[in-house]
Structure 1
Amino acid sequence: MADTMEASQIEVAKAMLASAQSALTDPLSTRAEIEYAGIRLVECLTEVVRVAESRGQRLTKVDSDASEETPPPEE
């Protein structure tokens, strides 16, 4: 379930990135559109960072578990 939620958050961030790029490169974009894009980018980036940190913690746990199960090599 967490993987599905994370994938969804990343897809939303990708869509927002495309939308923000469009707003920022369009000379006719209003100040409100640019502000909205900035606010949403911060929200999406916050979520993506949380996903990355969560995955990093899970990877660290998996690495830690693996090292506890694997005896050190004999010399």
Structure 2
Amino acid sequence: MRLLPWSGQGGKPCYLVGDGTGYLSRVADDIECLQLDMAARLLDHATDMLADHKATTAQLRFLVARMTEALRDVHRVAESRGARLPAPDGGHIASR
């Protein structure tokens, strides 16, 4: 099973059962790439904003809120990809 990069109703995780070659797997791959790219861009923005000593409290709070969202996405991507890695004995690593 693959943990998908989006949540279902009520924030519950969504899973996909399959061989990883179907349409929904490709959509999930594309969304993961977008989420990782957005996180990288947000880190660059954070670096710039922290160097700007004129950044306001409201701007920094907004930045932290977006970084929280990005970190949540990146964590989900890492959890999903980690769960699909083969274990040293040839099995799969169990997810939490």
Which bin holds the TM-score, normalised by the shorter protein? 0.7 to 0.9
Larger Rg: 1
Return the structure number with greater strand share.
Answer: 2
> What are the ranges of 5 or more consecutive residues in structure 1 without an aligned counterpart?
66-75
Distance, in Å, in 2 between the alignment partners of 1:57 and 1:20 is 30
TM-score in terms of structure 1 length: 0.76
Q: Deviating runs (4+, > 3 A) in structure 1? A: none
The size of the alignment, in residue pairs, is 64
Report which structure shows greater RCO (CA 8 Å, sep ≥6): 1
Q: Percent identity?
A: 38
1:42 aligns with 2:47: no
Query: Which residue of the partner structure matches residue 52 of structure 1?
Result: 78
1:22 corresponds to which of 33, 48, 51? 48
Structure 2: gaps spanning 5 or more residues = 1-26
Please provide the CA RMSD for this pair: 1.6
CA deviation after TM superposition for structure 1 residue 60, in Å: 3.8
Q: Which residue of 2 aligns with 1:72?
A: none
- Counterpart CA distance in 2 for 1:31 and 1:17 is 18
